[in-house]
Structure 1
Amino acid sequence: MVEVMKKMMMSDPKWQALLRLFSDKQVAIRVLRKQKEVLMHPDSLQMFEEGYDPATQDGMVKFTNIYERMDRTAMEECGLGDYIKDLKLFKILKVIVPLYINDPEIMAELEYMVKIGNLFVTQDIGSVPPDVNLVSMETKQEIPLSQFHSRKSRPLVIIASSLS
């Protein structure tokens, strides 16, 4: 998957410029830190809270639009807005992660993402997952995941997908 992303980006001159920019590790770290600052700002968190409803049909589209706006803000605040002005869709992680997937320093910069809510939470195999609420698409009622897991001695597997 990472190699496919790199090949796709290498075929487009606009993406090539971004790849060259982010091949400087210090630039990548500076942008990731600014992204964190922007995403964790109370105004941004409120925007996600108000604008993203996972129970709606267009919830993921709204989430993606808000997230892209935050990424653009981070790039502009780093003085790098010209690199992305002509790109229709831009995501910082789409460029940086394929370049630095095996770099512990860069990956450590992304650890904050678990704090943006349950959207990015990952669990280690064998760990006890948090009891999160699932939203009924029909009634909009929140139901704790633990209510669905009646056989505690057996593992619970959740299969989820996205159209994005």
Structure 2
Amino acid sequence: MYPAPWLRASDADREAIVAHLGAAAADGRLTLDEYADRTRLVYGSRTWGELARLVHDLPAPPMADARATKSVASTAPSDGGLPLAALICGVVSIPAVACTPVGGVTGIAAVVLGIVSLRTAGRGVANSRGMAVAGLICGLGGVALQVAMIVFMALVESNLE
């Protein structure tokens, strides 16, 4: 299980043994005094033989299967950031109404991104439905405010003539 007993241990090796001891203490296999004593001895150890003697009476730590972890991570769905982009555009569109074309353009972008995000969410691609809905609502609000601002400016302009 461990390398040859005469090989020198690295700092990472010692940290792994301390983690193993910590897990054993958390499981109730070691008392706190035993854990403290063994941890002190771990940091004073130079070889794998010295380290192995400190954990010989404990079960081996569980080994993670790197292949399984990699395959799960590689198949995890990605939303591509569309819901976040919809939310940002939607939120920016509301105060941007003061800059006449900017509010409408960012609002329309938020609406389009929100709709695309919601459609891909139905196929299991996106996992941020809440951000997409919030971006869509804020975008619609930004477009509505922009239209109201343009109508208001047109009315004011016609009254000045």
Flag whether TM exceeds 0.5 (same fold). Answer: no
| Structure of higher CA gyration radius | 2
Structure 2 length-normalised TM: 0.23
Q: Which has the higher helix share?
A: 2
